[in-house]
Amino acid sequence: MKKRILFVDDEPKILHGLERMLRPFRKEWDTAFAESGSQALEMMARESFDVVISDMRMPRMDGAELLEEIKQRHPGSVRIILSGHSSQELALKSVGPAHQYLAKPCNADSLRSTIERALSLQQLLTNERVRELVAKTGSVPSLPSVYLKIQQILRSPDASIPEIGKVLAQDVGMSAKLLQIANSAFFGIRGSVSTPTEAAFRLGVDTVKALVLSLHVFSTFDRAQLARLRLESVSSHSMSVAVLAGRLARAEKLEASQVDNAFTAGLLHDLGKVVLAANVPEDYEKALEVARARGITVWEAELESLGATHAEVGAYLLGLWGLSHPIVEALAYHHRPGGHANHSFSPLTAIHVANVLQQEGAEPPTGARCSEIDLNYLEKLGIAGRLPAWRQLRDSA
């Protein structure tokens, strides 16, 4: 069944140009075109669309307002802004409802790769209910203490990018959102950004300040929603995994960009837990109880109870947000690396190993069984003999 793509722009010439540009792909996609937000909503009320790509500046209902409506009415659709001119005010407005922001002019290859990547992510998360839940997610809850700390820093006239990046990296939710914004063309930035500090540097102090202090793009975690998911423990564990994954990647002589990817993937590897806990707290509580009562891992209980694990949930969200493929695949397979066809040490290997090594000898906060290293996977890569050296690397920190 062909996937369905809806383009929205108040300029008929633009729509005709898109139609001509995408004609070579008509065997793969069904494309439709709307000249206003209201027309787009009418069309979506009659038929479903997998991806909606809208211009930003339109009369009566701009692109951000349209995508916000679609987010509420049709949460499973991927939402993308495609715009050639937008003020910072409008860009900030679109941060919440848009998964990605593409800048005009956008050639056919770039547009196609963005759409194909968004559609391919559906294979990661086959449970439609969970996929809609994740697609509707605009932000990931943050630790109140870190949120307050970053607010204090940004209100200081002496705020510096290294200081801002260091604090942001302490929080899973804020790091993920900042990387989404920096990896899409919301503010005219082009190119891949792989660490929170680099994202803060590319965006600049003023933009980060506007995101945190003015628009409240970041949200704080409601402890009453899920008391047993200790967000402090999730953040602390994530940072320790990120640091060790980066050290492992350097020890195995990966390129600098891959070392950064390993660090960021480690920092965000449990992002899906926070997404599930914030959106379906009762269901997630039951999954944690199943894991504790039966002595299985949390991810195994998630799969049984929810039809998806936090690994796929986090990977799907970051993929929608445009983060790089190595980070997305590392999240998706970090508990089951044998399911991925890589043939050498990669960021996926780094966070799979780092995640387990950082749990060895520790009492899991949920009472569930800890994950184990996939020795068959390491043996296939011919690196199982490196485990003692990796443990030494962990212990020498």
pLDDT score recorded for residue 367: 67
Strand, coil or helix: 5: strand
pLDDT band, residue 30 (cuts 50/70/90): very high
Compare 23 and 41 and report the one with higher pLDDT: 41
> Who has greater pLDDT, 123 or 52?
52
Of 80 and 144, the structure prediction assigns the larger pLDDT to 80
Element (H, E) at 165: helix 161-168
Q: Which residue has the higher pLDDT, 15 or 192?
A: 15
Q: Which part of the chain has CATH 1.10.3210.10?
A: 231-395
The pLDDT, as a whole number, for residue 171 is: 87
What is the structure's pLDDT at 336? 94
pLDDT at 48: 94
Three-class HEC string of 265-310:
HHHHCCHHHHHHHHHCHHHHHHHHHHHHHHCCCHHHHHHHHHCCCH
Tell me where in the chain the CATH 3.40.50.2300 domain(s) lie.
Answer: 3-123
Q: Taking Cα atoms as reference points, which of 182, 201, 217, 143 lies closest to residue 327? A: 182
Mean pLDDT of 214-241: 73
- Beta strands (DSSP E) in 90-136 are 100-103
- CA–CA separation, 390 vs 357, rounded Å? 9
Contact 64, 81 (CB under 8 A): yes
Confidence band for 194, pLDDT divided at 50, 70 and 90:
confident
pLDDT of residue 86: 60
**240's tokens:** 């320790």
Mean pLDDT of the residues in the chain? 88
CA–CA distance, 181 with 186 (Å, rounded to integer): 6
**Does residue 220 surpass a pLDDT of 80?**
no
pLDDT at 226 over 60: no
Tens of pLDDT, residue by residue over 324-374, are 999 999 999 999 999 887 789 999 999 999 999 998 866 665 667 888 999
Residue 107 pLDDT class (50, 70, 90 cuts): confident
Q: Give residue 295's Cα distance to chain centre.
A: 29
Give the mean pLDDT of 79-99: 80
Residue 255 confidence (pLDDT) above 80: yes
Identify whether the C-beta of residue 248 lies closer than 8 Å to the C-beta of residue 350. Answer: yes
**∠ CA(175), CA(176), CA(177), 5° rounding?**
95
pLDDT for the residue numbered 189: 65
- Fold type of domain 3-123: Rossmann fold (3.40.50)
Rounded Cα distance between 3 and 332, Å, is 23
Cβ 171 vs Cβ 200: under 8 Å: no
On whether the pTM is more than 0.75, the answer is: yes
Q: Which tokens go with 131?
A: 């996929």
pLDDT score at 248: 97
**Phi, psi angle pair for 7, to nearest 5°:** -110, 135
pLDDT at residue 213, as a whole number: 74
Is the Cβ–Cβ distance between 6 and 43 less than 8 Å? Answer: yes
Residue 397, pLDDT > 80, answer no
Contacts of 236 (CB under 8 A, 6+ apart): none
- The 10s digit of each residue's pLDDT in 133-151 is 999 888 888 887 888 888 8
Instruction: Identify the CA nearest to 316 among candidates 183, 168, 119, 51.
Output: 119
The 3-state DSSP class for residue 129 equals helix
**In the chain, count of helices (H) and strands (E)?**
21, 5
Q: What is the pLDDT of residues 309-322, one digit of tens each?
A: 999 999 999 999 98
DSSP secondary structure of 63-92? HHHHHHHHHHH-TTSEEEEEES---HHHHH
User: Lowest-confidence range among 90-94, 131-135, 167-171, 389-393?
Assistant: 90-94
**Short-list 73, 75, 6, CA closest to 39:** 6
Q: 3-state class of 101 per DSSP?
A: strand
pLDDT of residue 383: 96
pLDDT at 165 exceeding the cut of 70: yes
Beta carbons of 267 and 169 less than 8 angstroms apart: yes
State the distance between the two ends of the chain, measured CA to CA, in whole angstroms: 52
Count Cα neighbours of 108 within 13 Å in the Cβ-side half-sphere.
Answer: 10
What is the domain class of 231-395 according to CATH? mainly alpha
